[in-house]
Structures are given as structure tokens and as C-alpha cells.
């Protein structure tokens, strides 16, 4: 199974959206990582919500949604990122997923569920990955 990494692209500043900013749910059990990813996405103009694990994410999705995209870590307590991503890609409407992980050996296995981004990453890499995932989802809709 081939790895689906995000392709590098030029990212400059926040996007001005003509419609409401895309809503992104960030799921990671590390509060510092969640906060950092949130700031990166908000600085690019996205509306961001957070969850500490897959179980919380499912609750936030049903209570707060709809979301345009989910960024999730793989290794988390309760419901892990693999299970969450599998759940999300089987929903109707399908919710695109960007997977982030510090464990490179896991990324090739999960790439079939969405683009992957290895930790650590920089803001421009995350924003590029999110933009690509949203664009791919829009083309397939």
C-alpha cells in the first residue's frame, strides 16, 4: 500500500473564504499538540474545534458538527485515530481525514484512509495538507 503524503505547495498567510471558514476538528490526546495545531489552522483562517481522543471526537461531531475535515493523531486512549478515521470515511456524507503521527511505521498502513503527515511538522506543511484534503474531497463530491 503506497503512502499518501501531502504534496508541498506554497502557503502564504490566511485564506479569505467567500463562504464561512471550513470547520476543522483537531483530535489529539496531547493538549499541547492540539493547541499548536489549532493555532496553526486558525492563523490560516479555519474555524477549529478540539477533542482529546476519538470518543470525544465522535461526541463533538454529533453535538457540534458538521465539520468539513478532521485532523487526527493515531495513538490515543479510548478510541484511537485508526478507528476514528475508519468511522469517518464510512459516514454519509463522508468527512475527509488528515492523519498525523509521530510513529512513521504506522503511516503507510493508514494512508488508505486519508493523507498523512508525520510529526513533527511545520505550519505550512499542515496547511498544505489540509488544503489538499479539502480540494480532493470537493472534487470527489
Q: Chain centroid to CA 30: how far?
A: 15
DSSP H helical segments within 2-122, as ranges?
31-43, 54-64, 81-89, 104-110
Q: Which candidate, 64, 136, 60, 66, places its Cα nearest to that of 98?
A: 136
Cell of 110: 493508514
Which domains, ranges and CATH numbers included, belong to the chain? Answer: 23-140 (3.40.50.2300)
- Prediction pTM value: 0.84
Buried residues in 35-45 as b, exposed as e (16+ CB within 10 A): ebbbebbeebe
Overall average pLDDT of the 50-76 stretch: 93
Beta bridge partners of 98: 71
- pLDDT given for residue 20 in this prediction: 81
Cβ-contact 37, 71 below 8 angstroms: yes
pLDDT in tens, 7-56: 544 444 545 444 688 999 999 999 999 999 999 999 999 999 999 999 99
CA angle 83, 44, 135 (to 5 degrees): 60
Calculate Rg over the CA atoms of the chain: 14
Peptide bond between residue 70 and the one before it cis (omega within 30 degrees of 0): no
pLDDT in tens, 101-115: 876 665 566 666 778
Percent pLDDT > 70 in the chain is 78
Amino acid at each position: 500500500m503506497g503512502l499518501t503524503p501531502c504534496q508541498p505547495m506554497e502557503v502564504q498567510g490566511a485564506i479569505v473564504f467567500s463562504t464561512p471558514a471550513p470547520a476543522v476538528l483537531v483530535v489529539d490526546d496531547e493538549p499541547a499538540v492540539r493547541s499548536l495545531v489549532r493555532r496553526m489552522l486558525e492563523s490560516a483562517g479555519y474555524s477549529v474545534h478540539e477533542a482529546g481522543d476519538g470518543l470525544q471526537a465522535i461526541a463533538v461531531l454529533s453535538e457540534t458538527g458538521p465539520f468539513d475535515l478532521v485532523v487526527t493523531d493515531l495513538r490515543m486512549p479510548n478510541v484511537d485515530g485508526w478507528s476514528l478515521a475508519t468511522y469517518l470515511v464510512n459516514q454519509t456524507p463522508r468527512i475527509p481525514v488528515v492523519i498525523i503521527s509521530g510513529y512513521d511505521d504506522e503511516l503507510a498502513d493508514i494512508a488508505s484512509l486519508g493523507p498523512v503527515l508525520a510529526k513533527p511538522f511545520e505550519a505550512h506543511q499542515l496547511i498544505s495538507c489540509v488544503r489538499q484534503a479539502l480540494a480532493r474531497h470537493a472534487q470527489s463530491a
